[in-house]
Structure 1
């Protein structure tokens, strides 16, 4: 009964604390959040059923993925003898423990590899994918992930081997991903604009401004304000264009989209020009949820506005989301994208350079947008 009560309490905690879209979550007090973390950090005992221990580790991993928590407490009570440096260390080690309990579950291994990719532990992630392929050589996703992440770090030999294997497994699907990759590589080399492009369409055009995490008090941080300034410059030059503000994580009951909309209106933008996308929690969801609104509005031309360090990833996932919606609706993908950036580099020349780390993240989010979940069944 004691164990059941603990599980019920954990389920209630997670139901409340992971509801990132709700304004109720934004009102949770600091003491309550601290108590939630303590519940998640409850020691896992070997006399508990194995399936429940695995679920507890998965719940812990996702809790820390979203919220972080008391690292020292987790280090002391759960992962004894392991030094933890941050919340993703907790996520990684939780999945490692789950994998030990069920070495047959490939989804747990995929989740472990994803956490290693987030931490840029690429060689370790590639080793985890290799384990998956040792057990399931025909696994399309494992071959694809291993191949693209090998390409991202410059291992073209392994990439070519993966592509060859993918064509043997499913040639049509492999060629579809090669096309996605070709589009992505062209995006990576795209010129960045710090001023509104000339000759944008006067109708069926939208400006999509991507959000940035709000401060704890619900106020906007500098990167978001700078993105809005870049967006409003286009809005004034193209007064017929709709403006989609995209971002759903709330702070103090207000989402990024709400804050952005309010700011634009104080700068003279009419409320009926603004479309709120207030459900997304990251760049992939920015793209998927904003594209649904672009489809609804019949908009063919889009100018994406975000930071220079973010724009290539944004363009990649918006292109992929547009291709998906076109396929979903049985039509050809014909949406065109331009960009305007807030320059968060010392110079535009520096902004045009692309590091291996950025390519790694671009490929990761391309795959996520294409429907391959980062944490299968848990988190896109």
Structure 2
């Protein structure tokens, strides 16, 4: 029985890998027959599943680095939770080198750590196996641009425009929108809105360990309250779903607004989101039901460019025509200081906007 399964798997791997070797592929990049004939031991699947689950657990929660070193990564010194995540997917990929989702997950974790050059090499490895893979190409293009390699960016987009012109054009438009949002004039004073179907969307902030709101979140709510009073016909969405002591950010945010005079019927809660992309995904679902056409997004100044870019990307992906404006809690010494975009923020804005487009960090595993 084992021999039969082995033969079936060899045939499947050969077929899929040979399909990936297109005529347009450079000879230097072709995968050899010896590389193609790699049989994944069925017993390894359990190990792969364990490694993937370990990686995702540490992504969200962290944990005991010494324990995971002993159990999974003997001989590797781990410096932080993302080392665990990256090495989990590397070990899993070593067991099944042709599972591209594992390689994408390695690259995503490298990006999270700011290791852009390493992520680009990981994407090259994917393209060595599957040269026409759109997701790997567009991610390679985006992070090449972030890394200052405009030649690779231009050449990759030129190649993609020959095989997926419409899809490529959508991403070019997305990159242009992102660049515009990075130049956004931030607003620090509440204002009256003249456009119809207006919604105020306020982004949450991690609660303290005792389940209370931190000062940053209260400052965002102060701006929400000012905006809500000036625009009594506007609906309000409060977004934040990470629970502490049995309560979520969204729940406490609505409670605070109601206690400060806002009619509860105006306030809608998203209490599922765990990060900015989740904020955008879940509150966009609420905006669909509200028929929202115009949004004032409220967050901290240090976070607003990312929020605007991600929300717009999610709305475009959902085929919604929504205009986005902003109001911020100024967490800088001045507006001039807040307008400066660091290289780290530049990378993070692109990273999360790409996720908002549907290119998830851990494809097939989680967003």
Q: Which TM-score bucket, shorter chain as reference? A: 0.7 to 0.9
Which of the pair has the greater relative contact order for Cα pairs under 8 Å at 6+ separation?
A: 1
Q: Which residue of 2 aligns with 1:213?
A: 206
Counterpart selection for 1:297 from 290, 298, 301: 290
Cα drift, residue 61 of structure 1 = 0.4
Of 354, 357, 362 in structure 2, the residue corresponding to residue 367 of structure 1 is: 354
1:61 aligned to which of 30, 47, 55:
55
Q: Is the 8 A contact 1:202 1:238 kept in 2?
A: no
Question: What CA distance in whole angstroms lies between the structure 1 residues aligned with 2:274 and 2:300?
Answer: 17
Partners in 1 of 2:50 and 2:260 — Cα distance? 48
Instruction: State the shift of 1:105 in Å.
Output: 1.1
Instruction: Give the distance between the partners of 2:228 and 2:282, measured in 1 at CA.
Output: 21
Aligned residue for 1:117, secondary structure, equals helix
Structure 2 unmatched ranges of 5 or more = 1-40
Deviation track 1:265-312 (CA, whole Å, cap 9, x = no partner) reads 121112111111111111111111111111211121110000111111
Instruction: Say which of 205, 218, 222 aligns to 1:229.
Output: 222
Distance (Å, rounded) in 1 between the aligned partners of 2:349 and 2:156: 19
Q: How many corresponding residue pairs?
A: 327
User: What are the equivalent positions in structure 2 for 1:224-373 lying under 5 Å apart?
Assistant: 224-326=217-319, 333-373=320-360
Aligned to 2:103: 109
TM-score after normalising by structure 2: 0.86
Residue of structure 1 equivalent to 2:176: 182
What are the ranges of 5 or more consecutive residues in structure 1 without an aligned counterpart?
Answer: 1-46, 327-332
**Alignment partners' CA distance in 2, 1:373 and 1:267:** 38
- 2:154: which partner in 1? 160
Task: Note the C-alpha offset of 1:256.
Answer: 0.9
> Which residue pairs with 2:364 in the alignment?
377
Deviation at 1:340, TM superposition (A): 0.6
Residue pairs, 1:48-127, within 5 angstroms: 49-127=43-121
The Cα of 1:203 is off from its aligned counterpart by 4.1
User: Cα RMSD between the aligned structures?
Assistant: 1.5
**Alpha-carbon distance in 1 for matches of 2:187, 2:176:** 22
The answer as to whether partners of 2:195 and 2:294 remain within 8 angstroms in 1 is: no
Question: Which entry has the higher C-alpha Rg, 1 or 2?
Answer: 2
Measure the CA separation in 1 of the matches of 2:342 and 2:143.
14
- Provide TM-score, normalisation by structure 1: 0.83
Preserved contact between residue 203 and residue 240 of structure 1 (Cα < 8 Å)? no
For the residue of structure 1 that corresponds to 2:190, the secondary structure is coil
Q: Give CA-to-partner distance per residue, 1:55-101, whole Å, 9 cap, x none.
A: 11001001111111111221233222222121111101111111111
Please state whether the residue corresponding to 1:216 is helix, strand or coil.
Answer: coil
Residue from 140, 145, 157 that aligns with 2:139: 145
